[in-house]
A = this chain, B = another copy of it.
Amino acid sequence: MITSRDVAQLAGVSQATVSRAMSSSSRISAATKAKVLAAMETLEYVPHAGAQAMKTQRTNTIGVVVADITNPFYPEVLDELTRELDAAGYRVVIWNAGGGSHHDALRAIQERAVDGVIFTTATEDSAELQAALKKGSPIVLINRRIDGLQCDQVTSDNLSGGAVVADYLIQHGKTRVGFIGGSESASTSRDRGQGFMNRMTEHGYPVPDDLLRQGGFSHEQSFRVMNDFINQANPPQAVFCANDLMAFGALDAVRSNGQAAPDDFWVIGYDDVEIAAWQSFDLTTVRQPSREMARVGAHMLLDRINSPQMSAQHVVFPCELIIRGSARD
């Protein structure tokens, strides 16, 4: 292994000078700097990340926790996060799925293996998270929300998003409608459902119990739920799903029953992932600005790393109904 000492020896300077040649801020003459850089080049020297981390207590690495990387929403967020953080000189380590993700990520902060963590999903059991925040761990929540937490959060206005869907359906005469949620423990799904159902109730058409089901945020489960809806005695006219992936499942259920949207059923999703706009889905959905949320979240985290005392911010983005072929007159 080539160390800064080797470089120092070849360049005829001290090890400290080699270190200075690399930190652009340090005072060093142009001549010796050039000499050192040349030696580095010759020896193909690369500083040791672990040693640097021990001295500086920085790793230039950010952790990201995602619930399910195969849900197209997360790759889009990750795409934006990796681009943004990469540009800022950070690496990205991801924790996917597994039940221990949150714990592992928080531990990685304690280990000083990452400088901070972005959660795009969060169990509501926030005891450990709360403890970490009290220790001053740099943490940002994107997408999901946890109330009463002194923590930076970037979310979209899911309540309003859900309500807009209700308005739209009522306005077009769809009064018997169903809701396929993700899971009760996810704030996103809860808020979207609540916003939606409250507004339906306000309009005088509450969502009946038999048309309120959870779809586990997955295509497969939502497919089955929609299948049940279709084949029950009194099917809904329209279905609102808590994310696009489940809307695709619902659409597929409609089609595999030899029926079609919007002719036989209206199907509406949430997220507006890229493939929702594809011709084969042409999905009416509520757009949340996921890439913008990712960008903002990334910078919030970097800011917090650099000024830990700053008080926590909540940024909320508005959502917008995107009307496409799966639900329109």
Chain A residues within CB distance 8 Å of chain B? 1, 44, 46-54, 57, 59, 61, 68-70, 72, 74-76, 78-79, 82-83, 86, 91-98, 104, 107-108, 110-113, 219, 248, 251-253, 255-256, 274-275, 278-281
A81 smallest CB distance to B (angstroms): 9
- B111 engages A49 (CB within 8 Å): yes
A253 to B79, CA, bound (A): 26
Interface pair B91/A91, CB less than 8 Å apart: no
Q: Which residues of B contact A86 (CB under 8 A)?
A: 95-96, 98, 104
Q: Which residue of B49, B61, B93 contacts A112 across the interface (Cβ within 8 Å)?
A: B49
Q: A75-B69, A280-B255 are in contact. Are A46 and B111 (CB under 8 A)?
A: yes
Q: Closest Cβ of chain B: how far from A241's Cβ, in Å?
A: 14
**A279 cross-chain contacts in B, Cβ below 8 A:** 251-253, 255-256
Contact present for B75 and A112 (CB under 8 Å): no
Tallying the copies of this chain within the complex gives 2
- Minimum CB distance partner of A87 in chain B: B98
29 of the cross-chain contacts (CB-CB < 8 Å) are A1-B57, A44-B110, A48-B111, A49-B50, A49-B53, A49-B108, A50-B57, A50-B59, A61-B113, A69-B79, A70-B72, A70-B75, A70-B274, A79-B97, A82-B96, A83-B96, A83-B97, A83-B98, A86-B95, A91-B93, A91-B95, A92-B93, A92-B96, A93-B93, A219-B275, A248-B275, A248-B278, A255-B280, A280-B281
- How far apart sit A70 and B252, CA to CA, in the bound complex (Å)? 22
In the A-B complex, list the 9 residue pairs whose CB atoms are closest, starting with the nearest.
A50-B53, A252-B279, A49-B113, A46-B110, A82-B96, A49-B111, A50-B54, A93-B93, A256-B279
Residues on B with C-beta less than 8 A from A83 are: 96-98
Cβ of A201 to closest chain B Cβ, rounded Å: 32
User: In the complex, which residues of chain B have a beta carbon less than 8 angstroms from the beta carbon of A46?
Assistant: 107, 110-111
Chain B residues, Cβ within 8 Å of A253: 279
Chain B residues near A281 (CB, 8 Å)?
280
The interface residues of chain B lying within 8 Å CB-to-CB of A256 are 279
A274's closest neighbor in chain B, by CB?
B70
Given contacts A49-B111, A50-B50, A252-B278, 11 further A-B contacts (CB under 8 A): A49-B113, A50-B52, A50-B59, A50-B113, A61-B113, A69-B79, A70-B76, A72-B72, A91-B95, A92-B96, A219-B278
Cα(A328)–Cα(B148), bound, Å: 57
Give A97 Cβ to nearest chain B Cβ, in Å.
Answer: 7
**Which residues of B are found within 8 Å of A274, using beta-carbon distances?**
70
CB <8 Å contact, B78 and A96: yes
Q: Which of B51, B79, B97 contacts A82 (CB 8 A)?
A: B97
Q: Which chain B positions have C-beta within 8 A of A104?
A: 86
